[in-house]
Amino acid sequence: MNISELTRPLLLAEPLEHARFAPFGQVIEASATARHFTINAGNTERYHDLADVAPGPDGRAIISIFRGQPRRLPFTVEMLERHPLGSQAFMPISGGPYLVVVAPPCDRPGTEDIRVFLARGDQGVNYAPGVWHHPLLALDAVSDYIVVDRSGPGRNCDEIELDDPLDIDIPAAQR
Amino acid sequence: MNISELTRPLLLAEPLEHARFAPFGQVIEASATARHFTINAGNTERYHDLADVAPGPDGRAIISIFRGQPRRLPFTVEMLERHPLGSQAFMPISGGPYLVVVAPPCDRPGTEDIRVFLARGDQGVNYAPGVWHHPLLALDAVSDYIVVDRSGPGRNCDEIELDDPLDIDIPAAQR
């Protein structure tokens, strides 16, 4: 371990809540505060229209499955990516918590712009177009996610290397 | 129990497989035969564009969560519905098997048009526009599903009562 590793900042994950995540997109969950109503002759509760799916005027929404290998904590965030032309939603289908690292739309996010959230296995996220985020950060086990994002013309993925990498972890009480 | 109940036809569920389900839409699963490729510097496998999301020219794709109460087997199918203006995809996020009852687009499906599939907890389905289907048929437990369907103008739900209700069940070997 060298000096720079010793002095890297450490950011602990916040809980994933609607108000906290609002600058970056939407939390997808069947919460009591979500708009919901009963359908199918009383059999089913519909939690309605939980994310702003935004494929853009020349794109279309597609459904994929991402299978992510688990990461070890603490994890060093060295890069971020963004999709300028469309939203991207993730919903776990294997259960299990995961980490969400984001920064608001800007030219080049710095350490102070980055937020880390701990998502429960029953919570999804939808990144608004242009929101910087780290690729999938599954924990504990190989995990599958339903992904709703954009297919269409144009360059829809930018990546940056951070000037100052940082370490992320989850609070000890939630390990 | 009266005579008509005794004589109602019984249909046992088929396994949910791509070729069998093709007349009705797509099976959503991370199968070896799906188009897939590695992303995120080797961390993630992307099973790409697994369903024909079709919100129509004046609609948009939305993401909802459906929470279904479990049904008891054998279950009597008395009605079907269809969404003429858009596709509707279901992916279980609680795990657990469920039943899928469909009939191809037509004016009025009869008993001979109806197919029943047993979906595993890691399989989703996408109904093509106009495909008749029964509302959510969770089994075993209260179950949540991510639903990708259409929001937009116009009437997008037709329901019919079947002239001849039928009973459905799963094969004894899979109970």
Q: Which two tokens stand for residue B40?
A: 């995120």
* pLDDT tens per residue, range A19-33: 999 999 999 999 999
What is the mean predicted confidence (pLDDT) over A147-152?
Answer: 98
Contacting A residues, span 9-38, partner chain B, CB-CB under 8 Å: 28-30
What is the mean predicted confidence (pLDDT) over A145-150?
Answer: 98
Q: Cα separation of B54 and A165, whole Å? A: 41
A5 falls within a domain: no
B1 falls within a domain: no
Give the contacts of B164 (CB within 8 A, at least 6 positions apart): B8, B9, B110, B111
Read off the CATH number of the domain in which A76 is found.
2.60.120.480
Owning domain of residue A73: 10-174
Total number of domains constituting chain A: 1
- Going by C-alpha positions, the residue among B51, B53, B64 that lies closest to residue A59 is B53
What is the mean predicted confidence (pLDDT) over A96-125?
Answer: 97
* pLDDT tens per residue, range A53-78: 999 999 999 999 999 999 999 999 99
Give chain B's residues under pLDDT 50. none
Q: How far is CA A116 from CA A132, A161, A170, in A?
A: 12, 17, 9
Please name the member of A49, A66, A136 whose beta carbon is closest to the beta carbon of B64: A49
pLDDT of the residue at B14: 98
pLDDT at A85 > cutoff 70:
yes
pLDDT band per the 50, 70, 90 thresholds, residue A174: confident
Contact at 8 Å (CB) between B135 and B112? no
- Going by C-alpha positions, the residue among B52, B62, B63 that lies closest to residue B26 is B52
Residue whose entry in the numeric block shows the structure tokens 């739309």: A105
Please name the member of A65, A91, A126 whose beta carbon is closest to the beta carbon of B50: A65
Cβ pair B146:A146 closer than 8 A: yes
Q: What is the dihedral of CA A95, B32, B103, B23, to 10 degrees?
A: 150
Contact at 8 Å (CB) between B62 and B47? no
| Secondary structure class of B129 (helix, strand, coil) | coil
Cβ pair A66:B48 closer than 8 A: no
